[in-house]
Amino acid sequence: MPTVQDPVNLAAKFEGIEAHWAPRIVGQYNDNDIRIVRVEGEFVWHTHEETDDLFLVLEGKIEIELRDRTVKLGPGELFVVPRGVEHRPVARHGEAKLLIIEPSGTANTGDHATATVATPI
């Protein structure tokens, strides 16, 4: 029988993260990781060939640069980048905190050779 987990306090989990662009796993469901990440500045252009990429802004502001437009997001807003679409997340206006949901094992850069490995916190 599955184990029922305790509630996750995202604010407390963020206190344990110092590095930017280094996702941490705070939960899992249906073979997906629920990840949180602090971001600031620019990330790398990348694609995910096998999965969509969901970004939910919890605090701050980010932009998701696509080759044909830029999507601006603030707290409480989310955006899904479809699989195979090249994109670059950017936090130009200071630090932002994000929640990201991805299949377990997904590389944050789209390439395991260059990815920051998401670890549980």
| Model confidence pLDDT, tens digit, residues 70-115 | 999 999 999 999 999 999 999 999 999 999 998 887 766 555 555 5
Distance (Å, rounded) from C-alpha 28 to C-alpha 35? 9
Residue 12 near residue 84 (C-beta atoms within 8 A): no
Residue 120 near residue 35 (C-beta atoms within 8 A): no
CATH code for the structural domain at 10-120: 2.60.120.10
Q: What's the predicted TM-score (pTM) here?
A: 0.87
Here the tokens at position 77 are 């807003």
| Model confidence pLDDT, tens digit, residues 19-72 | 999 999 999 989 999 999 999 999 989 888 888 999 999 999 999 999 999 999
Query: So what's the pLDDT on residue 74?
Result: 98
| Model confidence pLDDT, tens digit, residues 2-25 | 566 889 999 999 998 999 999 999
The total of other beta-carbon atoms located within 10 Å of residue 1's CB is 3
Task: Indicate the domain borders of the chain.
Answer: 10-120
